[in-house]
Structure 1
C-alpha cells in the first residue's frame, strides 16, 4: 500500500511524516483564538478509555495514534476501542460497558450517533466520571469538554472553495456526507443550509451511508447514474476518493470535479494526483491529543476550556507541500491502534 510519504517524496522531506512536538498550537478555545499548551504530564497513571466509531480508514488511524502518543507523553494508561463501523452502535455501547468493568477513570468518545449513548453518559456524569466529546459531536447532557471542529464550518469551507473555483458559474453539486445519524453529518448539513449560495449552486443529495469504500462506491455510482451532468461532487473522504477515480478514469463521460468534506491520507494522495481538487482538514491527530489532555485536566481539577478546535485549513495542490502531515496521519508504518485498557 502506498503511503503519502512515498507518493510525495519529491515534495516532502524525509522527516515530514514524523511527529515533532505538537504544542504550543494556535487553536480556537471556547470561540476565541488562543495558543494551546497541554499539561507537561499527569500526576498519576489515570486510566482513560477511548471509543472510536471504526478503524477502517487512515483518518481514524491518525486519531488512534494521536490518542496513544499523548497518553504516553503524559504517562497515563489508555484503552482504544473501535466499533467496526457506523452501523454498529450496540458494539460501541458494549465497549463503553467493558471500560466501566475495567474501572476507567475517564472517557474520550467519538460517538457513532449524536444521542446514542445519552443514558450511559448520564450515569457517568452522575458518578463524576469525565467524558470528553471527540470530533463527532455528542448531543447529550453531561459532557465535560469537547475537542471538536464544527463540521458546519468544514462544509462551508469546502463549499466556499467550490464557489470560488466555479468563478461565478451556475453549478450542480452532488452531496454525499456520510452516515445520517452521526452528529458531524448533521453539522455538515447545517453548514450547507447556512451557506448563501443564491441561485448559482444547486445541491443534490446523493444519500447517506457508512463511510466504508464499498457503501460509498455504490452511492457515488447511483448519484452519477441519476445526475450524469454534475459539475462537482462534495462528499466524505471515501466518497470523494472513489468519485475522483471514477470521473477521471479514461473514457469517463462524467465532467464532475471532486472536493472532499475532510482530509485523509487517501484524499491527499488524490489531491496530489489531480483526481480530487481540495479538502478542508480538521487536524484529527491534534483533536485526539487535545482530548487526552482535556480528560487529564478534568481528572486533576486543573483549569480546562469547554471546547478546543484546531483551525480549519483547506488543502489543494497549490499548498499541499506546505501542509503539516503529522496533524492528519501517523508516521509511515503505523496502522490502526486497538488496545485493551490494562487491567
Structure 2
C-alpha cells in the first residue's frame, strides 16, 4: 500500500502549506465564506472532549483542533473517553477540565444529554461551550460547529436512488450507537427521504462503533437478509462489510454514512461504493475559532456547517483530503490542558 500512503501524504500537503480559509459554509442558514480570527487576544485555555480516538475520523478532528490552537495561539487540552459506551468517562473529563480552570469547552458529545447540566453551568458563568460534530442538545450552548447527519443520510439515500435508476432496492442500515445524537439525526433523515422512493430499509441494529460489535451486527444482518442490494453503515461497519460481502458471495454494494481514511482506501479499491463527507477537520477548526470568539465577547452564529460532498471513485481525485484527515504519520492527539 505504499502508493496509497504517498498519495495521501501528497494530497494533504496543500493544507499544511496554505491557510485553510476562507471556507464555504452555511451559517444560520446563510451561505458565506468563513474567515477565522487571525490570532487570539490572549492564550486562552480550552478543553476539547471527544468520544474516542479509535478511528481516523477522530484523529482528523483532534489534528484540526490542535492545528487551529497553534495558529490562534491558545492552549488546548484534548481528551477522549474511549468509546460511546463510556459516557461516564466523558462527564468526568468535563469535570476535570472545570477543576483545571478551563476558559472554554469544545464538546463532541457521546450522547445528547449527559453533559447538559455541567455545560449549562459553565455557559451561565461566561465560559463558552461549543457543540462539535455529534450534537449536544442543551439549553444555553454558545454555538454549534457540525453538519446535520440527517442531511448526510438524505444525501446518501438520494445518491443510491439516482444510481439505481429508481428501481426497487433493499437497503441494509447499520447506524451506530442508539443514544448518539448523530445517529438519531441520521435515522430522522432517512425516514424523511424514504417516502416516494422504492427503497425498502432493513435495520441491522445498534451498537458501539468498534470493529467487533459492528462485525457481529453485519454478519447477522446478511445472515437474516442475504439478498440486500445495498448497505449504508457507519464507517467501521462499512469497512468490515466491504470484505464480508466478497467472502460470502453477496452482490450487495456498501456505502459508508461518513468518510474516513480507511473508507477512502476502499472506495479507491472498489470495495466501498461511496460516502458523504462532513469535513471533520474543518468542523474542528471552526469550533475552536468560535470558542475564542465567544471568549472575546463576539456574538456567535448558532450553527456553522461545512457543505456536504458525496465521494465516490469519480469525485475522490478532486477532493482536498486535508479537510477529512491528518497528514500521513499523524495519529490521535491526546494532551492535558496546559497551565
Q: Shared fold (TM-score greater than 0.5)?
A: yes
| Cα contact 2:172–2:228 (8 A) shared by 1 | yes
Question: Cα distance, 1:199 vs. partner?
Answer: 5.2
Q: Distance between the aligned counterparts of 1:168 and 1:139, measured in 2?
A: 36
**1:29-71 CA-partner distances (Å, limit 9, x unpaired):** 1111001000000000000000000000000000000000000
Paired residue for 1:320? 316
Q: Distance between the aligned counterparts of 2:111 and 2:105, measured in 1?
A: 16
Question: Cα distance, 1:118 vs. partner?
Answer: 1.2
**1:74-95 CA-partner distances (Å, limit 9, x unpaired):** 0000000000000000000000
Paired residue for 1:6? 6
Aligned partner of 1:223 among 218, 221, 224:
221
Q: Secondary structure in 2 aligned to 1:87?
A: coil
**1:126-146 CA-partner distances (Å, limit 9, x unpaired):** 212110000000111121000
Q: Distance between the aligned counterparts of 2:60 and 2:17, measured in 1?
A: 11
Paired residue for 2:120? 122
Paired residue for 2:205? 207
Q: Secondary structure in 1 aligned to 2:284?
A: helix
Question: Cα distance, 1:16 vs. partner?
Answer: 5.7
Question: Cα distance, 1:247 vs. partner?
Answer: 0.8
Aligned partner of 1:20 among 6, 18, 21:
18
**1:174-232 CA-partner distances (Å, limit 9, x unpaired):** 00011000000000001001104435100010000111111111110010011010000
| Cα contact 2:142–2:300 (8 A) shared by 1 | no
Paired residue for 1:156? 154
Q: Which runs of 5+ in 1 are unaligned?
A: none
Is residue 253 from structure 1 mapped to residue 249 from structure 2 by the alignment? yes
| Cα contact 1:282–1:310 (8 A) shared by 2 | yes
Matches within 5 A, 1:263-278: 263-278=259-274
**1:285-341 CA-partner distances (Å, limit 9, x unpaired):** 000000000000000012421111000000000011111000000000000000000
Q: Which has the higher helix share?
A: 2
Is residue 286 from structure 1 mapped to residue 282 from structure 2 by the alignment? yes
| Cα contact 1:171–1:200 (8 A) shared by 2 | yes
- Superposition TM-score, scaled by structure 2 size: 0.96
Aligned partner of 2:302 among 293, 302, 306:
306
Paired residue for 1:137? 135
Question: Cα distance, 1:3 vs. partner?
Answer: 8.8
Q: Which runs of 5+ in 2 are unaligned?
A: none
Question: Cα distance, 1:255 vs. partner?
Answer: 1.4
| Cα contact 1:19–1:326 (8 A) shared by 2 | no
Structure 1 ranges of 4+ moved more than 4 A: 1-4, 16-19
Q: Distance between the aligned counterparts of 1:205 and 1:157, measured in 2?
A: 18
Question: Cα distance, 1:125 vs. partner?
Answer: 2.1
| Cα contact 1:176–1:208 (8 A) shared by 2 | yes
Question: Cα distance, 1:20 vs. partner?
Answer: 3.1
Q: Distance between the aligned counterparts of 1:340 and 1:287, measured in 2?
A: 21
- Superposition TM-score, scaled by structure 1 size: 0.95
Q: Distance between the aligned counterparts of 2:290 and 2:3, measured in 1?
A: 31
Structure 1 residues 65 and 187: CA distance shift in structure 2, 3 A:
same
